[in-house]
Structure 1
Amino acid sequence: MSNSQYEKVKINEVMVDFVALKLFIDNQWRDIESRQLSLLKLLIDNHGQPVSRNQIMDVVWHDTIVSDNSVSQAITQLRRSLNDGKDTPRFIKTVPRVGYQLIAELEFPELTTPIKQQLKQQKKTYLSAVAVSAIVTLTITVLAYQLSQPKIQVPSYQYESRLTSTPGPESFLRYSPNGRYLAFSQISEDRQQMDLAVYDTRTQSVHTIKNTGYSEEAAEWSPDGNWLVYFRHDPLSCELRIMSVKNPVETWRLSPDSYFHHCQPGYSRQKLHWIQNNLFFQRWENNRPALTKLIIDDKKNKPSVSEQHDIGTFSPVIFDIDKSNHMMLLVEKNLQQYQLSLVDLASLDQTMLEQKEEAYWGIKWHKSNESFWLGNRSLRLQSLTGYQETVHLPIGFIPDIDLNPITKQLAHTEGLLNVNLYTLQLDELIPIDLQKAKRLSSAARTDILPTISDDGVQTAFISYQRRSNDGLRHAEIWLKNKYKKTASLLVNLPEHVKPQYLLWSPNGENLILGDSQFNIHLINVYSKHMVPILTNHPLIDAVNWSSDGKLINYDTIEDKQTQHWQYNLQLATSILINKNNEPDETPQQLSITALKKLNPSYRNYLQLLASFLHQALANQLPVDNLLPSFAIYRPYVFTNGIYYVVKQGHQLYLYLYLFDKQENLKIARLGNYEQDVQLKLNISASSDGKEIVFSKLEELETDILVQGKVTDD
């Protein structure tokens, strides 16, 4: 098989694409390093025969002198990519004192040798003869399969009207049990807090019923429709409040409200669910969301809370409960994946329906135990078996949905947002006027994850196309030089690469891109070329450049032990440095030297910084807990301190903690943050902290639209 020319080969169940540098394994394509493919090709060319370590060094590192350990590490990485075990190998066998042997079965689906072509020609007549029969059989099979699949009858909906057209966002839609009223929250005129409003479908008018100077959000109706319960909060406090709505809607704004239950300040809100005498809501405890049930006593003149219970060990991001049978649609987040599950609240049995990287917005039951509505980049109806139909494509996005229980009208919020990048230059590390900031990017795109080089000259950022004809968002990496007027395109990202962070090399020649699958890609700013260098490391952590920019240090977890590695850019290989059996430093023990090494590639990055600042600042902190703010705006560590953003009410403030002076400064007000938009906002700085680049959410606008039901399902 030596010197064979082939583009693809199947090794056992794994398809290898040598042109695309990919493996098809576990039903998905994965990137693989070119060095691993060179080694794999050598083993394939000598299939069944052992290949010595010297042969491997001569072929794989033909122009470089490497150690014997490099071969061992290369074999280890290739085995990991193929999911092959050293003790029970199915692909690569170690031949003691000789080398390594490929023992897997091989298939060459795209081999184009003359013999292969001759065989194809001989088979052509036969294949033509059976083609018609095969197509007919296949067609019948596919049709039978499709007819047997449980689908949903998609009701016809058409645009009916827009209910609101005011500046800013509207959110937390909730129809009353009789279908007449639609409660929602809208931003106040001064954009300082959210007010509670109600749309009357009979008179087609909007009534503002609460504007107290606090934020009133996520109103929910009692089952009899006589009471409204909702969140009232400011930066330092949070309560569930209750008010009577038994009288005509024109008098509701005069109805007194009263304390109902406590909630934790600072965190994002989700809808309440009042079902019979139970009120379900998302409660935060120890920086973790929990599903909580309040037992409601309604025997007196006003409902009150008699008991509180946490339900299971769920961590709800968003959820909806079917009031007829207590079945819950639950979304939770695990690392970079969102998981949608069906939960029986009586037995707490949980069935996973699907998981994906895209966030879930606006989930709402449609038919019991059958189908539900989803928002985000389209309005769609989906069955519990996974069948899905798109009903409406918005210009922007759909963050919230509710269904009228009587008329089956579908209300949803729909809107647009701009995320722009700004740069700011400081002469001294002191509070400044944000008006000095200059916009760096175009408002025609959604630009996020800005990262500035150590010298403050170059800024790289991720740019998303708002919507393309195929419905996908295309991502690119752009580069802006401080001394040039316009930015330039660096690379186009493949659709499967979901960027999480960018790290500049100290010399400004290369960038590391970390994606949602914990793969590491290397980008050279001169060649404008991106290559995957570390793949199939599900537990990769703590990625750092060496001081000369020639090595990349990183950690992995093997058998619950941390292993320290170095990737050599010149040799294009990784070398194991050592294993660490010692426990990691706790946030209280973290030294300033260790703290300065932190960057967004660390899995516990936010927790470490929040814990350090809590300890360092004690009572000086502007809020009780920093993690809710860090979930919105990712902080940044540089040589002299930490830049971080704190959300106070709906206002965002930029702070700077200085290591040497142990001083905390409020640098500037960054603007408003009125609704969670699931975008990665962050701040970055040069090594001296005087050149700053940051994301800024601007012009978030949503209106309430109604889709009228035309036909039954």
Structure 2
Amino acid sequence: MAKQYWIGDFFVDLSRNQITRNKQPQIVAPKALAVLTSLAKQQGKVVSQDTLLSEVWPDTIVSPNSLQRSIAQLRKALGDDGKGQVYIKTHSKQGYSLECHVRWQPEPQPQLLTTSKSRLVPEEGKPLKSVEDIPTIFASWHIKLLFFFTTLVLCGFIGAHFATSDTSQSFSVGEIRALTASDGREFASIYSPDGKYIIFHRYSQQECVNNIWAKNLDTQQEHKLTENIDSYGSHSFSPDGKQLVFIRTMDCEQPTIQKKCYQLISMDFKMALREPQPINILLECKTSEIRLPHWLNNNEIALMQREDTQWQLISYSAQNNQSTVLYQVDNGNIVYYDYSVKDDLFSVISIHDDSKYYIDILNSNGKLISSNLINFPPEAQRRRFLVANFSPIENHLIFSTGRQFFTLSFEGEVKNISIPLDQPTFSPNFHPDGNKALVIKGNYDSDIAAIPTNRVKAGTLALAQHIIERSTVAEDSVTVQPNGSLIAFSSNRSGSEQIWLSEQSKLIQLTQFPIDSYISGMHWAVDGSSILANVNNELVHVQLDGTQHHYTTPHLILELLNWNKAHNTALTLANIRGVQKLVEYDLNTSQFQVLTDKRINWADKTDSGQLIYTDRMDKFWLLGRVEAEPIPALNNQGGDNKPFIVKGQIIYGMNNNFELWSFNLREKQLNIIGKLPSNTVSIDDVDNTHIFITARIASKKEVVELILNK
């Protein structure tokens, strides 16, 4: 059989394990190519999973997950994200089919290269014209000379282009080394300016405290720098490495418009290595939010600051106790920024008035040098958060979507790079000399429990007895089928987040979303026939046979809150020009309506269509015909941004004391039902007899060092 063939404009070369398009080859695993070849031989026909497993893995016992991973690899290589299924189509409970036309490449015949009518075959297999096909005009000497110089310039341009654009060849990992191995959860790791220490947070789940730690990379000795002073954000060193600055988040003593207050704190690093140091408050914000401090080369401190909904980049001088606005986006918003000490530049990820991502490069004074639209490949599109940091590759940043890493050029071009990591990671922070980087690697483990309501009331609750879905990774977002026996939930147990169905002890994986997918809200249709889910910031309608319909919305969907199947409207939190808004979409017409300009934490609707929401102070509001009215009985019942659910005319929620409560909108009566376990993350659903919750089991995060190949 031929070892080369075409699928549309993709050239498949089995001898090289490559799929090539527009002279851009991709290396694909041999087993995945074997699956593709089996489908190509039966082009247009459904090939069962059993057939594919027996052909590709003969005399070997493998799980269907191996086949699913190969299909996912092929879709990625073909630019087919599985939504439209242009190339490889899934037939629920039947198998797969290759939908695109296949052209088999004849085996090349050995022949001598001559100057007569021999035909040269390039890498992708497309024949060149013979010598006799070239117009005779090139016989003229001056045309020959022009052709020579044109070719020389063109080759130089192409060579320069690929030398600078193929960044994936400039970044590869030679070794992966774990740096921390405690029972705590580590995060926000950076190197000291001299590269001798790493600094990181460590949260102890047993003691429920967080501290900043330092580790000497030569001696492996660890030092606790702080003494239980609440929660922190990221941190940064002064240019001389003597001071460390970070942000402390705490409950406001007398909240006015927000519950959390923010302090910018500095610390003498050398003294803290000897013993934990008292804090030195440089700046305190009670009506705005600050995050991401970076100590600049001019000894000022850059911060992101938000007042109401607008983020801006500011520079704060501790010496003068004054701040200056460096940059803000008109009719848009800042998402993230990084600062390069080496180049004295800012990179700003922003969303502009077209609701699209841009990369803005600024000098240290905030002057805009360039602003470019970010061109995402299919596997990195529609991401809720884009955390891109400066990298050793000139004029490029690097970001992670979980188990995939990407380079981002100053011009907005994104390319996938392969890093051998088996667990989700956060975007890397690089060593001052650029030869290694720190990432946070690990898994979050949560389970689903169905707790009898009478057990909650009686206070005789043993959580372990009521776990209904358990694995070593995250299960959450449980929702019960109306008028049925199915339970739907999301889980990472197959390697990426998918929708699963459970009926007693029988489990079915309903979806096959691509790698690094995440689900933020899902709801059953009233008749229990289908599910609407928010997958990768996009609304997806999933039938019980696995078929899907993807809705195109002009904005990123951050959370799906409610679905009215009768009117086919979706209540969502959406990202509009970089600002979170409460939005209702008409899925039939793609029209949308912003329901309020307030900052909303959570919202839901009653069966009669009444809207209930919580604001940034966790106060409950009922939207009436003219204006929103507060629900005073629910003051102090909202918890810190905790979600609530509405069933009929009853609201169910959990407060900060983990008390489960209900509130009847008709009778205006609050009922404290009982106390839930302290590791309850959220209340997901309620039926006549049970409360369905997500419970946190463990969160293992550790600092890992990537040693780069030189």
- The 2-side partners of 1:584 and 1:450 are apart by 27
Q: Give the counterpart of 2:488 among 445, 460, 464.
A: 460
Q: Does 1:148 align with 2:155?
A: no
Partner of 1:554: 569
Cα distance in 2, alignment partners of residues 189 and 563 from structure 1: 38
What SS does the corresponding residue of 2:641 show, helix, strand or coil? helix
Deviations 1:635-679 (A, max 9, x none): 322124333456x6xx97765444333427485455459xxxxxx
Per the TM alignment, residue 465 of structure 1 is displaced from its structure 2 partner at its CA by 4.1
AA aligned to 1:251 is: R
Find the counterpart in structure 1 of residue 317 from structure 2.
296
**Mapped pair 1:357 → 2:419:** no
Change (3 A) 1:686 1:495: same
Determine if the alignment matches structure 1 residue 449 to structure 2 residue 457.
no
Query: 1:616, 1:662 within 8 Å by CA — same for their partners in 2?
Result: no
Secondary structure at 1:393 match in 2: coil
The verdict on how the C-alpha distance between 1:410 and 1:645 changes in structure 2, with shifts beyond 3 A counting, is farther
**1:187 to partner: Cα distance:** 0.7
Q: CA deviation at 1:350?
A: 2.9
In structure 1, the residue matched to 2:345 is: 327
Q: Please name the residue that 2:696 is paired with.
A: 697
Partner of 1:637: 646
C-alpha contact 2:618 2:636 (8 A) present in aligned 1: no
Following TM superposition, by how much is the alpha carbon of 1:186 offset from its aligned partner in structure 2, in angstroms?
A: 0.6
Over residues 291-310 of structure 1, what are the superposed CA-to-partner deviations in whole Å (9 max), with x where a residue is unaligned? 34242144xxxxx6322537
1:182 to 181, 191, 198: 198
Alignment correspondent of 2:361: 343
Structure 2 CA distance for aligned equivalents of residues 402 and 629 of structure 1:
29
What letter is aligned with 2:569? Y
The aligned residue for residue 670 of structure 2 is: 663
Structure 2 distance, partners of 1:329, 1:396, is 27
> Distance in 2 between the 1:190 and 1:433 partners?
23
Query: One-letter code of the match for 1:271?
Result: L
Offset, 1:336: 14
* Partners of 1:329 and 1:340 within 8 A in 2: no
Shift in alpha-carbon separation, 1:511–1:402, aligned structure 2, 3 A: closer
Change (3 A) 1:708 1:488: closer
Give the CA deviation at 1:354: 3.5
Larger relative contact order, structure 1 or 2 (CA cutoff 8 Å, min sep 6): 1
Q: Is the 8 A contact 1:321 1:365 kept in 2?
A: yes
Q: Distance in 2 between matches of 1:609 and 1:247?
A: 39
Q: Confirm or deny: 8 A CA contact 2:644 2:652 kept in the other structure.
A: yes
Distance 1:240 1:545, change over 3 A: closer
Kindly tell me: are residues 305 and 429 of structure 1, through their superposed partners in 2, closer, same or farther at Cα, counting changes over 3 Å? same
| Residue equivalent to 1:164 | 180
Match of 1:366 among 382, 391, 397: 391
1:685 is aligned to 685
Q: Take 2:239 and 2:427, find their aligned partners in 1: how far apart are those partners?
A: 21
- The match for 1:238 among 233, 255, 261 is 261
Once the two structures are TM-superposed, the CA of residue 429 in structure 1 deviates from its matched residue by 8.2
- Equivalent residues of 1:234, 1:265 under 8 A apart: no
The Cα of 1:312 is off from its aligned counterpart by 0.5
Does the 8 A contact of 2:82 with 2:513 survive in 1? no
Aligned residue for 1:211, secondary structure, equals coil
CA distance in structure 2 between the partners assigned to 1:709 and 1:554 by the alignment: 49
Cα pair distance change 1:641/1:319, threshold 3 Å: farther
Alignment map for 1:364-443 (pairs within 5 Å):
364-367=389-392, 370-378=395-403, 380=405, 382-384=407-409, 386=413, 388=415, 390=417, 392-406=419-433, 408-427=435-454, 432=459, 435-436=462-463, 438-443=466-471
Deviations 1:302-357 (A, max 9, x none): xx632253731364443312234443333457999983623325334532334423
Give the share of equivalent positions with the same residue, in percent: 12
- In structure 1, how many angstroms separate the alpha carbons of the residues matched to 2:562 and 2:671? 28
Mapping of residues 187-266 of structure 1, within 5 Å: 187-188=203-204, 190-236=206-252, 237-245=260-268, 247-253=270-276, 255-263=277-285
**8 Å Cα contact 2:659-2:672 kept in structure 1:** no
Q: Contact conserved, 1:451 with 1:461, CA < 8 A, in 2?
A: yes
Distance 1:252 1:282, change over 3 A: farther
SS for the counterpart of 2:126 is: helix
Is 2:661–2:673's contact at 8 Å kept on the other side of the alignment?
Answer: yes
**2: CA distance, partners of 1:405 / 1:190:** 35
- Confirm or deny: 8 A CA contact 1:360 1:374 kept in the other structure: no
* Partner of residue 59, structure 1: none
Query: Given the alignment, which residue of 280, 283, 301 partners 2:302?
Result: 280
What code does the residue aligned with 1:207 have? H
Shift of 1:30: 6.6
Pairs aligned (count): 542
Question: Corresponding residue for 1:570?
Answer: none
Residue 417 (structure 1) shift: 1.9
- Find the aligned partners of 1:513 and 1:197 in 2 and give their Cα distance: 40
CA, structure 1 residues 183+433, in 2 after alignment: closer, same or farther (shift >3 Å)?
Answer: farther
1:556-578: CA deviations, max 9, x gaps? 9xxxxx9997x9xxxxxx7x9xx
Aligned counterparts of 1:312 and 1:474: Cα–Cα separation in 2: 35
Instruction: Give yes or no for contact 1:341–1:354 (8 Å, CA) kept in 2.
Output: no
Residues 180-189 or 147-156, more deviating: 147-156
- In the alignment, is the contact (CA less than 8 A) between 2:403 and 2:422 conserved in 1? no
Superposition deviation, residue 555 in structure 1: 7.7
SS at match of 2:462: helix
Q: Which amino acid aligns with 1:464?
A: N
**Cα distance in 2 for residues equivalent to 1:336 and 1:652:** 41
Distance 1:176-1:618 versus aligned 2 partners, 3 A rule: farther
Match runs of 1:41-60 below 5 Å: none
Q: Work out the CA distance in 2 between the residues paired with 1:707 and 1:442.
A: 32
Unaligned runs of 5+ in 2: 1-7, 9-42, 47-78, 86-98, 104-116, 130-150, 253-259, 572-582, 623-628
Distance in 2 between residues matched to 1:434 and 1:342, nearest whole Å: 53
The equivalences for 1:571-610 within 5 A come to 595-596=606-607
Q: Which residue of 2 aligns with 1:678?
A: none
CA distance in 2, matches of 1:529, 1:250: 56
How many Å apart are 1:426 and its aligned residue? 0.7
- Deviation, 1:443, is 0.5
The answer to whether residue 620 in structure 2 is matched with residue 612 in structure 1 is yes
Q: In structure 2, what is the Cα distance between the partners aligned to 1:379 and 1:521? A: 26
Q: Distance in 2 between matches of 1:163 and 1:155?
A: 21
Q: How does 1:78-93 map to 2 (within 5 A)?
A: none
> Contact 1:225–1:245 (CA<8 Å) still a contact in 2?
no
Distance 1:658 1:431, change over 3 A: farther
Instruction: Judge conservation of contact 2:562–2:604 (CA < 8 Å) in 1.
Output: no
Report if the CA contact (8 A) 2:358-2:371 is conserved: no
Whether the 8 Å contact between 1:338 and 1:359 is mirrored in structure 2 is: no
**Residues 167 and 441 from structure 1, CA distance in 2 versus in 1: closer, same or farther, beyond 3 angstroms?**
same
C-alpha displacement at 1:400, in angstroms? 4.9
| Structure 1: stretches of 5+ with no match in the other structure | 1-7, 9-16, 21-25, 33-107, 113-127, 299-303, 468-472, 557-561, 568-573, 674-680
TM-score after normalising by structure 2: 0.62
Q: How does 1:533-572 map to 2 (within 5 A)?
A: 535-536=551-552, 538=554, 544-545=563-564, 551-554=566-569
